[in-house]
Amino acid sequence: MEASPLTQQSRPETFQPKIVHLYETLFKAPDDVDVEPSEGFWREFFLLPPDRGHLHSLLDGLSPDETLSLQTQTKRLFARAIREASSGVAPADSYALDTLTIFLTSILSKKYTNPSSDVITVLAGLDEVDRVISEFVAVLDGIVRNGTSLELRRKAIRVAVAMTSGAYKTSLVSYFTHRDLFPSLMKYVNDSETPLAVFDPFLLLGLLANYNKFEFQNPYQLRLDDFVNEASIQKIVKGVGMACGGLRNGYIAVQDDIPEGWTLTNTLIFFGLRALAPGARDKANPPTAEEAKAMFAALPAQEAAILMATYDFTNSNKLFGYHMVHMIPEHNEESPFSSFLSLSSYLLQHAYRSPRVAHYAELSLFTLRILVEDPTLCKHICSEEGKRRVRLCRQRQPFLPLVGGDRVLATVVFDALIDTITHNLRRRLDVNIYSHTIAIILRLLTYLSMNKIRLAYHWSELWRTLLSLMRFLTTYAADLSSNPNINTLTSSLADLMAFCVSGGDTFLPDPASYDDLFYKLVEVGPVISKFRDVYAFTRSGSSSAAVFDAPNKDNSIHAAAIDTLLSVSTHFYTLLFQSDGKDPATAAAAASPKVDGEPTPVVLPAIKKKNLSPREVHRIIKQGYDTLSIQPPEGLTTWSRWRETEWRSELKRAARCAVDDARQLVA
C-alpha cells in the first residue's frame, strides 16, 4: 500500500482570523512598496467583517514617523475603502465604512510634527489631496442622502465624524464646508424612525458649524439660521432630550440621589430609568467614596459633545429654542427641556471636578441664558402653563427644600443656579460660571418684575446663597483679586442684590419674603461694607461687567448699588437693635445715611442678640418701611443681550472638548 502524499501539519495553538492576516500583510513594509495588492486581495479584504480590535491595535502601535513611512499602504487603503463604500455592493460597502472609521480614528489621533501636511501625506499625498478628499466627501454625502439602509447611512455619518474630529486642527475639514452636507443630514433626520437616531447627524452638525466659525463665514452656521422645517426640528429636540436624559442617568448610576419619600421604582420608570429599578437587575454594591470620586471624574459620557450643537442651534435658530422649551412630554416621559435642565443641574453641581465638566456646564449656562433672554420663551418659563416635573441633582449637601410634582420652570432654574453657587466655592473660583449664574438670575428676576409675576418660591434660600457668595468673595479677596474677571462678578452681584432690594415688591409673593431679605441684609451689614472696600467700588471709571449687563453701566452705578444695600442694612439695624425705646421712625431718621448722594461710610457692629420674637421683628421691619428711602441707581434692570463674539475664547475651548469626545465616541 502506497504512502499518502498528504502530510499532517501540527495544529496551531491559536487560529488567526483571515482579516487579521490581511491587515498584517498590507501594513508589513515590503521590499517593493510599488507592488499594488492584487484585486483578489482587496475583494477578500472587504468581504470579511473588519476586526476593530486588531486593526486599532496595529495602527495605534505605529508611531507618527512609522505611519509616514507606510504612506503608500495607507493611501491605498484609504482610496480603496472609498471606492468600495461607493460601490453599493453589500456587504463590502458597509465593511468599507467600518474600516474607514477605525482607520481614520487611529491615523488622525497621532501627534504629527506638521499635523496638516503630514495627515495629507498619509491619506492622499500633496498632489492628489484635492481629488481624493473631494471624492471622499462626495461619497459620504451621497450615502448619507441615498444609502440603501438607515444603518449604512449612519455609518457614513460616523466616518464623517471621525474625519472631522480627527482632522479638526488641519485644513482637511474645509472640504466639508466646500460641499454642503446639511441637506443630506436633514434628510437622514426626516427618514429616521427614532429620536435617538438623530444623535450622530446632530453631533456632526455641531462639529462642522464650529469649525473656524470666528475666522470665516461658516456655511453651516448660515444653514442653522435659515432652517425652518418644524418636523425635523421637533425630531432633533426629542433626540437632544433623550441624550440629556441618558447623560444624567450616568450620574444617577454612580449615586442614586432619589429624594426621600419618593417611590423608587415608579420614579425611575417615570424618568426612563427602568433598567435601574429594583428587580430589573441585581443591585450592585454601591461604590466607596474613592470609587465614586473616580467615577464622577469620568462623567459626563462622551455623548455630552451634543451640548455644543444644542448651544449652536439655540443661538442661531429661534424656532429650535421655541420647541425646546414648549415641547410637551409624551407617554408620561420627561419633556426635552426637563431633561436638559436636569442634566444641567448635575453638570453644574459637579463643575468643579475638572475643566471638561466646567466647559459643558458653561455651555449649558450659555444655552439657558439665550433662552431666558427671549421674552416669548421667558414667559413660558415663568408661567403656570409651562409647569414641568424636573429631577434636580441632590448628590451633595446642603440640599434645597424638596418640591414635588410639576413646577414653574423658573423656580427649577433658580434651584439649579443656587446649587451651582453653593457647591463650587473654591479659592480658585470659576469666576465665569458664577458670573453667568448671576446674569441668568438677574434676567429672570427683571422679567418677573416687569410683568408683575409673583412666584411662590423659597426665596430665603436665594437671599442666603447670594449673601453667602458675597461673604466668600470678601473673605478670599486676596486669592481672587488676580482673576481678570473678578470685577465682573462682584459688580453683577452688587447690582443683583440692589435690584432685589428695590424691586422685590414687584415679584415677591408675600411681605414675609421681603422682610426676610431685609433681615438678612442686617445680619451681613459688616460684610457689605468690607465687600465695598476690598473691591474698591467707586463712582468713576468704566465697568468690566458689560458682557453680562448693560454696556453703558459704569462703576458709579455699582457703587450706588452697594450704597443702597448699606443704607437698607443700617436703617433696619437701627430699628431692630439700637432704638433703645425710641420711636422707630425717629431712630431710623437719625441713623440712616442718604442714598441719593455720597453716603457717610458705615461699618456696622456685630448684631447684638435681643429677645425679639418673629412677630416683633416683622412688626418693626414693617414700621421701618414708612421711613425707608430707597432711590436705586438707574440701569439696574438693564442688561446686554448675548453676543457670541464676546465669548469666543470660552466657545473655542468648549468646541475642542466636544471634538475630543466625538473622536473617542467613534473610536
- Report the candidate in 189, 226, 214 with the shortest Cα–Cα distance to residue 204: 189
> What are the residues facing 278 on neighbouring strands?
281
Q: Is the link from the previous residue into 278 a cis peptide, with omega within 30 of 0? A: no
| Runs of H (alpha helix) within 255-317 | 264-270, 289-297, 306-316
Window from 66-80, 247-261, 272-286, 641-655 with minimum mean pLDDT:
272-286
pLDDT at residue 9 in the model: 56
Q: Collapse the DSSP code of 533 into the 3-class scheme (helix H, G, I; strand E, B; otherwise coil) and give the result.
A: helix
Please check the confidence at residue 283 and state whether its pLDDT lies above 60.
Answer: no
In the predicted model, what is the mean pLDDT of residues 291-301?
Answer: 92
Quick check: 467 and 530 in contact, CB under 8 A? no
pLDDT at residue 572 in the model: 64
Q: Per-residue pLDDT tens for 242-263?
A: 999 999 999 999 998 876 544 4
Q: Collapse the DSSP code of 388 into the 3-class scheme (helix H, G, I; strand E, B; otherwise coil) and give the result.
A: strand
Please check the confidence at residue 351 and state whether its pLDDT lies above 50.
Answer: yes
| Spatial distance between the Cα atoms of 183 and 166, rounded to a whole number of angstroms | 23
pLDDT at residue 639 in the model: 83
- For residues 319, 320, 324 and 328, what is the CA-based torsion angle, rounded to 10 degrees? 60
Window from 132-136, 214-218, 299-303, 611-615 with minimum mean pLDDT:
611-615
Q: Per-residue pLDDT tens for 36-79?
A: 888 999 999 999 999 999 999 999 999 999 999 999 999 999 99
In the predicted model, what is the mean pLDDT of residues 259-281?
Answer: 48
Better pLDDT: 274 or 35: 35
> What are the residues facing 388 on neighbouring strands?
407
Please check the confidence at residue 16 and state whether its pLDDT lies above 80.
Answer: no
pLDDT at residue 629 in the model: 58
Residue spans per domain, the chain: 16-179, 180-424, 457-636
Q: Per-residue pLDDT tens for 373-431?
A: 999 999 999 999 999 999 999 999 999 999 988 999 999 999 999 999 999 999 999 99
Please check the confidence at residue 621 and state whether its pLDDT lies above 80.
Answer: no
Backbone angles phi, psi at 133, to 5 degrees: -70, -35
pLDDT at residue 525 in the model: 82
pLDDT at residue 452 in the model: 93
In the predicted model, what is the mean pLDDT of residues 562-569?
Answer: 77
In the predicted model, what is the mean pLDDT of residues 159-178?
Answer: 94
The three three-digit cell numbers of residue 536, written as one number: 474698591
Residues 6+ apart with CB under 8 A from 594: 567, 629
Quick check: 569 and 525 in contact, CB under 8 A? yes
In the predicted model, what is the mean pLDDT of residues 173-186?
Answer: 94
pLDDT at residue 511 in the model: 84
Backbone angles phi, psi at 147, to 5 degrees: -60, 155
Number of residues that make up the chain: 667
Please check the confidence at residue 33 and state whether its pLDDT lies above 70.
Answer: no
Q: Burial code of 410-446, b = ≥16 C-beta within 10 A, e = fewer?
A: bbbbbbbbbbbbbbbeeeebbbbbbbbbbbbbbbbbb
Q: Per-residue pLDDT tens for 459-475?
A: 999 999 999 999 999 99
Please check the confidence at residue 28 and state whether its pLDDT lies above 80.
Answer: no
pLDDT at residue 285 in the model: 75
| Runs of H (alpha helix) within 504-583 | 511-523, 525-534, 555-577
pLDDT at residue 330 in the model: 78
pLDDT band per the 50, 70, 90 thresholds, residue 155: very high
pLDDT at residue 282 in the model: 41
pLDDT band per the 50, 70, 90 thresholds, residue 544: very low
Quick check: 172 and 117 in contact, CB under 8 A? no
Q: Burial code of 184-221, b = ≥16 C-beta within 10 A, e = fewer?
A: bbbbbbeebeebebbbbbbbbbbbbbbbebeeeebbbb
Residues 6+ apart with CB under 8 A from 405: 389
Q: What is the DSSP letter of 277?
A: S
Residues 6+ apart with CB under 8 A from 28: none
Tell me the angle at which helices 486-503 and 459-475 cross, rounded to the nearest 10 degrees. Answer: 150
Q: Per-residue pLDDT tens for 492-541?
A: 998 899 899 888 888 999 888 888 888 888 888 888 888 988 887 655 44
What is the pLDDT of the chain when averaged over all its residues? 84
The three three-digit cell numbers of residue 468, written as one number: 453667602
Window from 205-219, 335-349, 445-459, 509-523 with minimum mean pLDDT:
509-523
Q: Per-residue pLDDT tens for 573-586?
A: 666 666 543 433 34
pLDDT at residue 613 in the model: 60
| Spatial distance between the Cα atoms of 495 and 244, rounded to a whole number of angstroms | 33
Rg of the chain on CA atoms, in Å = 31
